Every structure is written in structure tokens, then in C-alpha cells.
Structure 1
Amino acid sequence: MSGFARSLLRPGGYRSIPYALLGAAVALPAFPFALIAAVFPGTPRVLFLLALVVIAAVLALVGLSGPARRFGVAAANAVLGTGLPSPGRARPAWPDRARSAAWLVLHTALSGVLLAVGGVLTLGVLTPVMWLYGDEGQFSFFGVTAAPGAWTVPVALGMLVLALLLAAAATPVFRAGATALLGPSAAERAALAERRSAVLAQRNRLARELHDSIGHTLTTSTIQAAAAADLVEADPAQVRRALGTIEEASRSALEDLDHVLGLLREEAPAKAPTRTLAEVDVLAVRAREAGLDVRLAVTGPVAALPATVSREGYRIVQEALTNALRHAGPGTVDVRVEAGPDHLGIAVVNALPGAGPRTGRRGLAGLAERVEALRGELDAGPDGQQWRLTASIPLRAGA
């Protein structure tokens, strides 16, 4: 069975009917402008054609607007089932406006033809009623004069089939026209690709945020929980401090998680956490409670750093301490943060892992991307018997 024959058996094959009704409804406000044709002299046929030209001109002017294009795309997707991408809120270019105007005029014209012809065919289905009710007078239909009789039944069925065929055939015509004239142009496809790239970049950033925040929290909580289990009887006070650290770190991670999930759901998310290097001492306290001997040295006006640089600096220190906990275990970690006049410098040094070089460098790759985005440099690797991470981020353009 051909695709067209199958469409006759599916309700979706007759989407042209509601779409034509929508086209007629859209054209109705333009009909009063057709009265302009009445001021010109001419035969009724000429005046009728002039009225149609006036209506088409009004619809074309409406179609040049940006909202008309967005409405056309949304209507085609909802009624015809097309998959046209939304043009968004950006102002469409004039060639795209012209295509939208052409489709609005064509849509209403095809809708008028479909509804007029389909309406006549549908009225033909009612001819057997005259015969069934015993009307013996003659009537004229499509230029043929005849008396009612049994012949009206097959004629009515034939007209019904023609009406269904017309509606089914009009559906792919409407879809093809909408796709050709409302589909994205080269400029709109470029804008769509840019939006997709922005979405992917946002998702990658969110993945890094989750890796940094949740990874740090889980590492700290795991070590603290293990320490608390060993000291539950010998040092209850230390156990309480460990549990307090776990609670505080978990609450902070939940804030990050709530913010990220709000972005992924495209809802109004919770206010983005704004942890900066001004809170780097909190990171040091948590790491010390997890067993690290953190020696923190902060110099320069850290509080005056640009917000973006300060946030990324916080994440760098957080990732470095997390890696030290995860890979090297309890030990000494030297953290130096230097806010100079033209750059931010960060250095974190700890012992190498006992089992050799560390694995799982996804966090370091994310840090490198962060620093590179700020035109900075990051270096991480073994230095003798130590693991050294250094980052330098300029504070001025071209620095």
C-alpha cells in the first residue's frame, strides 16, 4: 500500500482540515480592508479580484513581522506535525520575513481553495436527502439538471471520497510549503548551531561544577566518616567535629546540586553559589579536619579580585585539595595564593601518591579549560617526590 493510500486510513492524514480552518481564521481580520476595492469602478469580477489583491497585501504586511514567523512555525509544528526549529526571539532577517509573508498569503489562499471545494463536495453528499424525502422536483447541480433518484446515493459517496482525497492530498502540500518557506535559512541555521554550542558549553561547565563540588564533598565526607568510625569510642568530641564537617560539606554540595539541576530543568534556579577565594580558609579548615596538614599562605588583596577569577581560583584550590586527599592521603599540603597587581598565582604542593603517579585526570583537564578560558596557564605534575600544581591567571587584558 502506497504512502498516500495509508494516509487515507490515518486521522493524521487529514491535518489539512484544521490547518485550513486556522488559515481562514487568520485571514478574517484582513477582510474589512477588501472594502477598499468598492471605491474603484469596474465589473463585479474585477472588483472581486481587486479585493483579493488587497487582502493578500494586508496579509503580506502582517507576515513581515517577527511574531508572524514565530506563530507560523509554531502552528505548522502543532497542527501539521512538522519539526521546524523555533526561530527564537531574535529578529529575523528581511529575506526570512519575506518568506514568512509569502507563506502566510499562500497558506490563506490554499485554505480558501480547500475549504471552498471541500465544502461544495460535502454539500453534494446531502443530495440523497432530497430523494429520500420524496422531493420530485428537478434541481441543478454542477450544471446538470436532473430529478432526484437512486442515482444520488453513489454520486454522494463518490463526492465524499473526493472530499477525503482532497483533504489527504492537501496535507503534504501544506507541509512542503511550510517547510520550504518557514524552515530555517542559512543564517538561522548558523544561529541554531551557535545556540547548540552554547548549550553544550553550558553543560560542560555544569559537569565541571558538579565534579569539583560533589567530588570534593564525597572525598571529604568519606575520609571523615572513616575517621569517625575509628574514634567513635575513643574520642567522641572528634567524632562530633567530623560529623559537623560532613554536614556542612553536604549542605554546600546540595546548594550546588540544586543550582545545576535548576539550570538543566530550564526553570528559575536557585541563586548560583558564589564561593570565592575570600573563603579559601574554609576549604583549608575542611581539609585539615579530613586529615590534611594544610599550610595556607594568602598574600595580596584577594577580596579585590574580579569575581570570575576569584571563583575559578576557589575551584582550583578545591580540586587540588580533593586530589591530595584522594590520591596522597593525609599529609602536608602547602597552598599559596598570591593576588598581585596584574595576575593571580596559585600553587599547591603535596606528597606524591604512594602507589605511583595518580590516575583520573578529568578534574585536572577541567581546571586547565577554566584557566585557559581566562587566558591563564596551569601546570600539574610530579616534581621530585612531590606533586605540584601551579596556576597563573592574568588580571588585565593582554597581561
Structure 2
Amino acid sequence: MSTAPQTRAPSGRRVSVRSAARRWVHLILGGALLMPYFLLTTTAIGVVFPGSDPLREPWWQFAAFGAALPLAALTALFPLARTLEATGARALCGVPRDQVVERPATSWAARRRTALWYTLHLLAGGIVSGMTLAAPPMAVVLILRPFIAALNDPRIGWPALTGWYGPLTGIGLLALVIGTAWAGGRLLARCAPTLLGPTPADRLAAAERRAADLAARNRIARELHDSVGHALSAVTLQAGAAGRVLDRDPQFVRQALTAIETAAREAVTELDTVLGLLREDDGPAADGDPARPLAPAPDLTALDGLLDRTRAAGTAVTATVDCAPQLLPPTVSREAYRIVQEGLNNALRHAAGAAVHLHLSHATEGLTITVENQLPAPAARPIPAAAHTTGPQWPGGGRGLAGIAERARLLGGRAASGPHDDRWRLAVVLPLNAAPDPKADRTAAPEPESVPGVDQ
């Protein structure tokens, strides 16, 4: 136990020394970046002031140094400057990746912050670089003067420091260089998150990208749940029924197997369509082969096939269609198909064997969809009012009703579900003239809506 601090302390010192050394290198690079601007301003001073000698006179050198910084700030207004400086700050200053933005600056606020950081980097780098070049040789001479008589020759021009004052001054000079480099590195590391971090515009763009990603994920989840989930529910019921009468009714088993094959084939087709949503912006496949044409998403013109597959699972379905599916807007028709599909799927899962009635009509408000089925025996007892919009809590309940509500909200419509007398009713209204609203796609549970014929 006593050896643990002894093994950790050297490691901590090595990490600290390594971090300080990287920051020193970062400052030296800042001094190197300053040199072109410094040489340019030195030449300009020599032209504007013919009698000056900026390369030898210290005051003119300081003037050239000061004039070089605004010039450097102007060049840092280019968008790529933030990428280069943020990468350097992360790699050499030890700034965490999530505290700096390594993308080009897209706003003037980000460009101004980058210019301020670049000026600070070059200012601190120029000071530390100058001290690193000049102070160590002077410190070495001061330290060695007591031991080498030639270094005490007055012709060298060094100040007369007798005894041990020379070595102590040299050590102090080295300490000053190290301290300045350490302070400069710490200053840049502390300023990097503020000057190279995300601006309010960056945070807004990141939030919009995340919202778009969540909307896309919700869209894929809904499509998978409604399309493949319906097929799997039907296949499960058909396989279970066939297994129970395998020895007594071979003809029914053959019909069930045929229905399972049809449902599975339809599920594969719809799965390919849903997965195509993930590749719709990617163009050709990654292996270089052209992307295969995707099967069109089903709409209400394919309603008869959906009803046939549901009936093949052993559920009696009656449908009343008081509208022309081929005349509906394509988006409304596709979303209505998915809503009907999920409504039938819920009936298959939670009220197996109960008769289902589907009603589609073209009303003043838009397309009205109603799916009703007899409540199963366990749910025939009174149901709390809180369950009127979420459905009875039968085992295996998922996000189906929430997905229906999301689809309706995307088109500016509304949806509600709940017990109505001795039946379970799903009622949806979809406007026919509303464009899809991407901002309506949220991860939160939808608010209950008031739909005629459903208790609230």
C-alpha cells in the first residue's frame, strides 16, 4: 500500500512536464508564425522612415512587433484560421476536443474571436520565443563566469557581477524564461474555450443538426414499427394457429404457410424501402455499385392487399372507403396507409380474433380514419380515464399509438384513441392541403387531441 504514492507521483510529474513542454512548443510556433508579419512591418518601417534601422535599434523593433499584431489579426479573419488554431490548441495546449470548434468559422462573431485568439497566440509566442532565443545563452555565460576566466574579459561587454552573483543571476534568468513560458501556456489554455469554442450560432447549428438527426431516427423507427411490425404480428398469429391444428387441419396449415410466405415477402420489400431512407442522400453504394432503385412506399392504393393479409391472420376486417385513394395527395395517402397498418396491427396484437371495422372518409376537415374493434374480455371492465389516450396496458405495448399521433401532427392533423362503449376506437384526421412540418417531429409524447367519437 505504501508504494502507491511513489508510483503515481513520478507519472503525474511526467504528465505535467510533458504538457508544459507541448505548450512551450505551441508558443514557439506562435513566434514562428509572427516572423513573416514582423519582417513585413520591419521593411515597411524602413521605407516610411528612411533614417531608421529596425534591425538594430530596439525601439524600432518593438514598433515593428506592435504593428505586426494587427496585420496578423486581419489574416485570422479567414474561416480556415479557426480550424488550424483549434487543432493546434487541442493537440498542444491540452484543450479538450469538446471545448473547441475545429470547423471553419461561418459567422463574423466566430471570426472576430479567432482573430483575437490568433493575436494573443502570436503575442505570447513572440515574447516567449524571443526570451527562449536570447536568455538561455546569456544565462549559461553568467553561470560559467566564475569557472572560466575568459568570460570575465571586459571587452566582452558583460556587466561586472563578482562572486556568485553571476551564477545566481543566470539561474534566475532561466527561471524567468520557464515561468513566462508556463504562464503563457496556461493563459492560452484558459482562453481557448472562450475564443475558439462554440459561439451561440454554433450551438444553435448543433442543436438544429441534432434535432434533424432525431427526426430522421424517429422517422425510421416509425416506418420499421408500422411496416415490419405488422408483418411480424401477422406471421406470429398465423404460425401459432397453424401449430395448434397441425395434425387436425392440414388444409388450414397450408393456407397459413402460404400467408406467412406472402407476409414475409411483403415485409422484405417494405424493409428494403425503409432502409432506403437511410441511403436516400448517399447516392451510389459504398462499394461503387450504383444504388438499386427503391420500391415505392405503399399508400392507400395498396389498401386491399393490406386488408387481405390481415384477414389471412384470422381477423375479420370490414372496410368502408368513402373516398378515392388515387386522388389523395401522395404524402397524405402514404401516411394514412401507415396509420391504418398500425391500427390493424394493434387489433391483431391486443384483440386477436375480434372483428375490426375500418372507415375512411373525405370530410370537411380532411381525410378521416377510424379503426374500431371489440374490446377483449380482460379490458371490458371500466378503464381509468388516464388510459383513454394511451390505450390499455396489455403486455407487449409499444410506441404504435405515439407514432400514429406523430404522423398526424407532421401533417397538421390530430389523433386520439381509447374505449368507446364496448369498443376500442382509433380516430385520426389528416388535412389534405397541409405540407409536412419537420419541426413537429419530436421525441416527447404527443399531447392528447380531441377527435369526434372518442372520449377524452
TM-score by length of 2: 0.68
**Pairing 1:230–2:244 present:** yes
119, 129, 132: which one pairs with 1:105? 119
Question: Cα deviations across residues 272-304 of structure 1 (Å, max 9, x unaligned)?
Answer: 885242433443233223222333454545345
Identify the residue that residue 290 of structure 1 maps to in structure 2: 313
Identify the residue that residue 74 of structure 2 maps to in structure 1: 61
Identify the residue that residue 297 of structure 2 maps to in structure 1: 275
Q: How does 1:321-332 map to 2 (within 5 A)?
A: 321-332=344-355
RMSD (Å) for aligned C-alpha atoms: 4.4
40, 46, 61: which one pairs with 1:38? 46
Distance in 1 separating the partners of 2:157 and 2:310: 92
**Pairing 1:391–2:405 present:** no
SS of corresponding position for 1:58: helix
Question: Cα deviations across residues 247-269 of structure 1 (Å, max 9, x unaligned)?
Answer: 32552565477468779xxxx99
Question: Cα deviations across residues 11-34 of structure 1 (Å, max 9, x unaligned)?
Answer: 234431343244345546645643
Distance in 1 separating the partners of 2:106 and 2:196: 14
SS of corresponding position for 1:337: strand
* 1:229/1:14 CA distance change after superposition, 3 Å: farther
* 1:253/1:78 CA distance change after superposition, 3 Å: farther
Q: How does 1:69-108 map to 2 (within 5 A)?
A: 69-80=82-93, 81-82=95-96, 83-84=98-99, 86=101, 91-92=106-107, 94-108=108-122
SS of corresponding position for 2:238: helix
Q: Which moved more, 1:272-281 or 1:111-120?
A: 272-281
* 1:71/1:138 CA distance change after superposition, 3 Å: closer
* 1:125/1:208 CA distance change after superposition, 3 Å: farther
Identify the residue that residue 336 of structure 2 maps to in structure 1: 313
Residues 30 and 122 in structure 2, CA contact (< 8 A), matched pair in contact too: yes
* 1:397/1:208 CA distance change after superposition, 3 Å: closer
SS of corresponding position for 1:391: strand
**Pairing 1:23–2:30 present:** yes
SS of corresponding position for 1:69: helix
SS of corresponding position for 2:378: coil
- Give the deviation of 1:107 after TM superposition: 1.1
Residues 212 and 319 in structure 1, CA contact (< 8 A), matched pair in contact too: yes
* 1:282/1:17 CA distance change after superposition, 3 Å: farther
Distance in 2 separating the partners of 1:111 and 1:323: 68
> Which residue identity lines up with residue 20 of structure 1 in the other structure?
L
Residues 210 and 256 in structure 1, CA contact (< 8 A), matched pair in contact too: no
**Pairing 1:355–2:378 present:** yes
Residues 31 and 128 in structure 2, CA contact (< 8 A), matched pair in contact too: no
Question: Cα deviations across residues 147-181 of structure 1 (Å, max 9, x unaligned)?
Answer: 9x9x97x9887766655544433332112222232
**Pairing 1:168–2:182 present:** yes
Residues 128 and 181 in structure 2, CA contact (< 8 A), matched pair in contact too: yes
Question: Cα deviations across residues 195-240 of structure 1 (Å, max 9, x unaligned)?
Answer: 4444444444444444434533432332233234335552453253
Distance in 1 separating the partners of 2:28 and 2:322: 72
Residues 309 and 393 in structure 1, CA contact (< 8 A), matched pair in contact too: yes
Structure 2: gaps (5+ residues):
6-11, 384-391, 436-456
Q: How does 1:178-193 map to 2 (within 5 A)?
A: 178-193=192-207
Identify the residue that residue 379 of structure 1 maps to in structure 2: 416
* 1:331/1:371 CA distance change after superposition, 3 Å: same
Q: Which moved more, 1:329-338 or 1:301-310?
A: 301-310
SS of corresponding position for 1:138: helix
Q: How many residues align?
A: 387
- Give the deviation of 1:323 after TM superposition: 0.4
SS of corresponding position for 1:355: helix
Identify the residue that residue 215 of structure 1 maps to in structure 2: 229
* 1:37/1:288 CA distance change after superposition, 3 Å: farther
- Give the deviation of 1:376 after TM superposition: 0.9
Q: Among the aligned pairs, what percent are the same residue?
A: 33
Q: How does 1:293-304 map to 2 (within 5 A)?
A: 293-298=316-321, 300-304=323-327
- Give the deviation of 1:320 after TM superposition: 0.5
Distance in 2 separating the partners of 1:142 and 1:380: 96
Residues 102 and 181 in structure 1, CA contact (< 8 A), matched pair in contact too: yes
* 1:197/1:272 CA distance change after superposition, 3 Å: farther
* 1:326/1:143 CA distance change after superposition, 3 Å: farther
Structure 1: gaps (5+ residues):
none
* 1:117/1:384 CA distance change after superposition, 3 Å: same
Distance in 1 separating the partners of 2:124 and 2:407: 55
Residues 292 and 333 in structure 1, CA contact (< 8 A), matched pair in contact too: yes
* 1:210/1:241 CA distance change after superposition, 3 Å: same
- Give the deviation of 1:77 after TM superposition: 3.2
